[in-house]
Amino acid sequence: MRVIPTPEELAAGVANAYDAFIGGGIADTRPMRSSIIDEGPKRAVHRYWPRPDAVSPHGAPVLLVPPLAAPAFCFDLRRGCSLVEYLLEAGRKVYLVDYGQIAFSDRNLGIEDWVEDILPSAIAAVHEDSGGEDLQLVGWCLGGIMSLLAMAEKPLPVRSLAMVASPFDFTQVPMVAPLRPLVDFTGGRIVTSLYRVMGGAPKRLVKYAYQLAAFDKYVTKPLAIARNLDDRDFLAQIEAVDRFTANMAAYPGRTFGQLYHRFFRINDLADGTIDLDGDTIRLAGVDTPVMSIAGEGDGIAPVGAVHAVREFLPGVRIDTAPGGHLGVLTGRAARRTTWPMIEEWLGEHDPRRGREAAPPLAPRPLQTA
């Protein structure tokens, strides 16, 4: 909105402000319809319903793998800005694994539980549900890392993996660097004592850490809203991201300890080898095609930290796209950048679909209250 708005801009701004702050909100956050095809400890596997207005579903199934602590609807943020919606409209058969909430009783779960059991079980369920077809995986952040670890751990019916904002060199993560001298001085004992007492990282702490990583955007958000009151799609995105942040989950104690000691302190992943519960996993042994997309403005997983994967996985395809940590996955620009990259990648490694790329998903008109 201009400093002196036109009558049309002013009217749109007033209507949007009413809907956003007094009415029922602007963002259409209805989830895409799905059915649960498999359940087990810390997993519920969803199969999304085909879109009636899309091409008939065909080709290899796609399993979306979220990270821990983030709500699984990161892939389905809102209508018109949903990777799930985009893939369904492209005729993909889309699945999602959801870990549910993490309780104090889950404090003994470690990354190996996801790598050795939860993800392989979800993959097996999709493989069976789709008639024995090999899968294509799309993982965001830790979801991409855990997917790669699972593929390195044992043979899985996976045709390809696309990772988005998955960091492998934590020395390049801005949030970690200032804390490293203190951690080295104390030997990590202070943080270790805290997460053991709390049983992990509480959801409120995870939420604050996420907001701190994007502190500049968090502070300037009121000004950005005021400047864009006439932009309904912009306000819908802000609303959807706020809902995402409010639904952060906790980390199990053992998992948080592994992330803290193995990833942050020792930077184990940088050389592509990590020890989990006495089992050494070597990522260089993965011969399945892998793509890694970094966000140009990502403050949690900067480009260098994400692209470090090529140091031990020479055949990996490297790409960048606009956006921060969440924005590169499901920001408004992702409709024209990240998602077509993913769809092209899926097509390249799906012999029944060929080398095809879906067009960008156009923003849909948002309904007024």
User: Of all helices (H) and strands (E), which one includes residue 9?
Assistant: helix 7-21
Q: Could you read off the pLDDT of 292-307 as tens digits, one per residue?
A: 999 999 989 999 999 9
**Ramachandran quadrant class, 132 (left: phi over 0; alpha: psi -120 to 50; beta: rest):** left
At 109-167, the pLDDT tens digits run 999 999 999 999 999 999 999 999 999 999 999 999 999 999 999 999 999 999 999 99
List phi, psi (to 5°) of 58: -160, 165
Question: Helix, strand, coil proportions of the chain in percent (round to 5)?
Answer: 45, 15, 35
Q: What is the pTM of this model?
A: 0.83
- What's the pLDDT tens digit per position in 33-43? 999 999 999 99
Please tell me the distance from the alpha carbon of residue 297 to that of residue 107, in angstroms, as a whole number: 33
Written as six digits, the tokens of 2 are: 């201009």
Query: Rounded to whole angstroms, how far apart are CA atoms 85 and 37?
Result: 19
Token pair of 131, please?
A: 């008639």
How far apart (Å, rounded) are the C-alpha atoms in residues 207 and 242? 11
Residues 277, 282, 285, 287, CA torsion sign: positive
